[in-house]
């Protein structure tokens, strides 16, 4: 997480706690959440946020080539835009999670706004893929007051990540290197098959990062699992 630049004093300690509560990967303050799976198994979960996009099928091709499953945290608005691609993700055997409907920054939003957005995403994903997501990844990793209630009402568990590729910014080599370095038993690895709500985003760096990452981790003895299997087995 991003640490605050100041420390010490009651006010700063309170602010530091709030910053961790909102964005810390191990925080469950605003809703039950996991950030890694079983540390005793040599397995990782590859996860993708912000899809579906026009680039998603290229990622599905790479995953199919190596026969590895992944978890796609889909944005409801993107599912409405590309329902066939959303459906193809589930049909290929991958797990589908909820990444909100409008990809908002949830801090300072009301509990009703949060619940309505998550519920709309849940309904949209179910309509177009037939899948009822069990996992939720907060946009920007930001959780807030009211998220716990929304998650409980929608039977969603939060899923953060152990390592993130920063693939929206870095080139394929650098994004892949971050995830190879961050891989460990039970790690949840985060990439992006879309770019927030953009239509036709350029996700070339992500696709190339996946092409490099999957064989590298297989060579190092890792199995690939969905988030559910990584956490529950
Ligand atoms: Zn996102």
pLDDT value for 2: 40
The CA distances from residue 35 to 47, 120, 127, 134, in Å, are 12, 24, 28, 15
- How far, in Å, is the centroid of ligand 1 from the Cα of 9? 34
Distance 137 CA to ligand 1 centre (A): 8
pLDDT computed for residue 14 by the predictor = 83
Confidence (pLDDT) at 11:
63
- Surface-to-core class of residue 88, CB atoms within 10 Å of its CB (0-12 exposed, 13-18 middle, 19+ buried): middle
**Residue 212 C-beta-side C-alpha neighbours within 13 Å:** 16
Q: Give catalytic residues, as residue numbers.
A: 49, 192
Measured in Å, residue 187 CA sits from the centre of ligand 1 at 19
DSSP collapsed to 3 states, 137-161 = CCHHHCCCCCHHHHHHHCCCEEECC
Q: In angstroms, what is the span from residue 73 Cα to ligand 1's centroid?
A: 8
Q: What is the pLDDT of residues 67-109, one digit of tens each?
A: 999 999 999 999 999 999 999 999 999 999 999 999 999 988 9
Average pLDDT in the 123-138 region?
98
Question: Quick one: pLDDT band at residue 168, thresholds 50, 70, 90?
Answer: very high
- Distance, in Å, from the CA atom of 99 to the CA atom of 202, rounded to the nearest integer, reads 19
- N- to C-terminal Cα distance for the chain? 27
The pLDDT tens digits for 178-228 are 999 999 999 999 999 999 999 999 999 999 999 999 999 999 999 999 999
Q: What confidence tens digit (pLDDT) does each residue in 6-58 have? A: 444 566 778 888 888 888 888 888 888 899 999 999 999 999 999 999 999 99
How far, in Å, from the CA of 192 to the mean position of ligand 1? 7
Measured in Å, residue 212 CA sits from the centre of ligand 1 at: 22
Instruction: Give this prediction's pTM.
Output: 0.93
Residue where the block lists tokens 């990540």 = 161
Q: Are 95 and 228 in contact (CB under 8 A)?
A: yes
């Amino acid at each position: 997480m991003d640490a605050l630049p100041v420390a010490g004093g009651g006010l700063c300690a309170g602010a530091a706690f709030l910053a961790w509560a909102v964005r810390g990967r191990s925080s469950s303050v605003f809703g039950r959440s996991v950030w890694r799976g079983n540390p005793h198994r040599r397995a990782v979960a590859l996860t993708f946020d912000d899809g579906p996009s026009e680039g998603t099928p290229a990622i599905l091709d790479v995953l199919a080539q190596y026969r590895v499953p992944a978890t796609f945290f889909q944005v409801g608005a993107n599912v409405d835009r590309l329902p066939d691609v959303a459906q193809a993700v589930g049909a290929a055997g991958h797990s589908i999670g909820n990444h909100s409907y409008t990809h908002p920054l949830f801090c300072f939003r009301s509990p009703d706004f949060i619940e309505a957005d998550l519920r709309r995403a849940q309904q949209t994903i179910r309509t177009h893929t037939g899948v009822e997501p069990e996992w939720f990844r907060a946009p920007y990793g930001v959780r807030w007051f009211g998220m716990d209630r929304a998650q409980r009402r929608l039977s969603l568990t939060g899923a953060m990540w152990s390592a993130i590729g920063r693939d929206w910014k870095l080139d394929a080599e650098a994004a892949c290197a971050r995830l190879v370095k961050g891989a460990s038993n039970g790690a949840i690895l985060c990439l992006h098959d879309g770019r927030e709500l953009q239509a036709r985003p350029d996700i070339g760096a992500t696709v190339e990062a996946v092409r490099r990452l999957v064989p590298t981790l297989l060579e190092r003895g890792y199995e690939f699992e969905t988030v559910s299997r990584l956490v529950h087995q």
